[in-house]
Structure 1
Amino acid sequence: MQLLFKELSDNHEITVYDTNELYGEKGNFRVLQFLNEAIQGAMDLDHPERVLFEYPRAIIHLMDFNDPSFKDVFLIGHGIGTIASYYSDKRFTVAELDKKVVELSKQYFGYSKEDVLIGDGRAILESEAPDTYDYIILDAFTEKGTPSQLISKEFFQITTDKLHPHGSIIMNVFGRSDNDKLINAIHTTLQESYNYTKSFRLPAEGVTDTQNVIIMGSHKPIGYQARNMAGFNEINLDEGHIIWDKV
């Protein structure tokens, strides 16, 4: 491993490094990582256009399949800018809490767009005009997980106001592979605001393993092709409690 950058920013510890192996794959990789080895993004330096991780590939498929002509996206959580970079011809508004993350994405990962707003994603979204976006993508994490203000009933109501009537929200969250109370609660809360929902996860070796879970909400039926979901399988989640903003 070759360390390129390490600093404690306003929000968390950030590290950038190069490595010859990533999740068992040999190659030439550059990684953006937070505290506790939480990888926020990675690039194949030999093939920079490649989308390395499964979850953004699955999200990209859901976006393309459900609205091939979409134009406008609001994305909360920048990372190295994987999804926004993939869609060079679409209009993105990206909200990122930590300006250092944006600086590093440009310096070390070649992010070239000028579409990132620094600040709280919910507050920025709330200031946007109604009926503006085709998709809202949530991919924001702290060391404690997805911020609670981004998974509440009040937040999901904000998203329905900012989306076009045909628009959808897609979330990348983390949870256990079986009967995770928080994942169940997020899904149940989302169902309060959207007529259709689907959830997906990667196979896990044990029920206690934490992994990416993708949850999508829309007011129209949600479709996908299983072979293009990068290994994610559709799952049925149990009913959970409703998540409200903390008073």
Structure 2
Amino acid sequence: MRVLYDEDYGEDGSTLVVYEISHYEGERGRFRVLAFSDGAAQGVMDLDHPDRIVFEYPRAILHLMETHIPDFNEAYVIGLGIGTLPARLRDKRVKVAEIDPRVKEISSRYFGYPLANVDVGDGRSLLEKEPNLAHDFVVLDAFTEKDTPLHLLSESFFRLCGDKLNERGALLMNLFGRGGGDALIRAAHTTLRTVFPHACCFELPQTGAADKRNILLMGAWQPIHFREKEMAGFIAFQPEEGYIIQDRK
């Protein structure tokens, strides 16, 4: 492993690391990784094929976007990572909110993110400044070392997203959990259904009862359509009922 960056601490004490490895998930090659200090990868680039989308979840999100609104043009993305999703949407009008200025610098310097569409700040606060009915999609892909911040999963936040979406629009979320029995996933799905009339959850096949994995949630004003064979391995599931997430006072 060759470490390229590991020197700065964020306001919450988190450390970001950029390194290169010769194997990833059993595949041999040259890979550059953005990770938290606990080893959780936030983005992976195949240096031999830089246009390849390595993670499954951005491929599934792109399919949901293209299937739900084939002619979509406006999207608001909360969470930059290495810039995989917004870079792939460069022919659309996309705005990105990223709370950590280090990530904005790293995505450009180490992963070649080419666009000048990233605002640094809290995604919810920045989204509040957007015009109502302006976007086809809001995409939430924001993590700290602990998890997705709860103020980005509350009923009030989902209502804010609903205000910013047009009549065809949808909210897409990449979360991390243990499937339908996970308390946070259950709560996020239950909360989503208090705002949007249509909601779906998708997960990768389970490898172990305790294994956390990417979970996709989608809330929409219109019925949700998808082709499972194009969901990069994600399958639809129905979480158990959970509590409604409210903002802390």
Q: Indicate the TM-score class for this superposition, using the shorter chain for normalisation.
A: over 0.9
Equivalent residue runs for 1:152-231 within 5 Å: 152-231=154-233
Per the alignment, residue 4 of structure 1 pairs with 4
Q: Tell me, yes or no, if structure 1 residue 44 matches structure 2 residue 17.
A: no
Structural RMSD (CA)? 0.8
Task: Report if aligned partners of 2:180, 2:240 keep a CA contact under 8 Å in 1.
Answer: no
Q: Tell me, yes or no, if structure 1 residue 22 matches structure 2 residue 11.
A: no
Residue 204 of structure 1, CA deviation:
1.2
Residue 178 of structure 1, CA deviation:
4.4
Per the alignment, residue 81 of structure 2 pairs with 79
Name the TM-score, length of structure 2 as normaliser.
0.97
What amino acid is the match of 1:10? G
Which consecutive aligned stretches of 4+ in structure 1 deviate over 3 angstroms post-superposition? none
In structure 1, what is the Cα distance between the partners aligned to 2:104 and 2:24? 23
Residue 9 of structure 1, CA deviation:
2.7
What amino acid is the match of 2:172? I
CA deviation map 1:150-195 (0-9, x unaligned): 0000000000000011100000001113411110010000000000
Per the alignment, residue 139 of structure 2 pairs with 137
Residue 34 of structure 1, CA deviation:
1.1
Task: Report if aligned partners of 1:9, 1:100 keep a CA contact under 8 Å in 2.
Answer: no
Aligned-residue identity in percent: 46
In structure 1, what is the Cα distance between the partners aligned to 2:61 and 2:123? 19
The runs of 5 or more residues in structure 1 that have no matched partner are none
In structure 1, what is the Cα distance between the partners aligned to 2:244 and 2:5? 41
In structure 2, what is the Cα distance between the partners aligned to 1:108 and 1:240? 40
In structure 2, what is the Cα distance between the partners aligned to 1:69 and 1:26? 37
Per the alignment, residue 96 of structure 2 pairs with 94
In structure 2, what is the Cα distance between the partners aligned to 1:27 and 1:91? 33
In structure 1, what is the Cα distance between the partners aligned to 2:180 and 2:240? 10
How many residues are treated as equivalent by the alignment? 247
In structure 2, what is the Cα distance between the partners aligned to 1:108 and 1:189? 37
CA deviation map 1:56-113 (0-9, x unaligned): 1100110111111111110000001000111120111100001111101111111010
Residue 51 of structure 1, CA deviation:
0.5
In structure 2, what is the Cα distance between the partners aligned to 1:177 and 1:217? 17
The runs of 5 or more residues in structure 2 that have no matched partner are none
What amino acid is the match of 2:91? D
SS class of match (1:36): coil
SS class of match (1:64): helix
Residue 207 of structure 1, CA deviation:
1.7
Q: Tell me, yes or no, if structure 1 residue 126 matches structure 2 residue 128.
A: yes
SS class of match (1:7): coil
SS class of match (2:147): coil
Task: Report if aligned partners of 2:179, 2:239 keep a CA contact under 8 Å in 1.
Answer: no
What amino acid is the match of 1:156? F
In structure 1, what is the Cα distance between the partners aligned to 2:129 and 2:143? 22
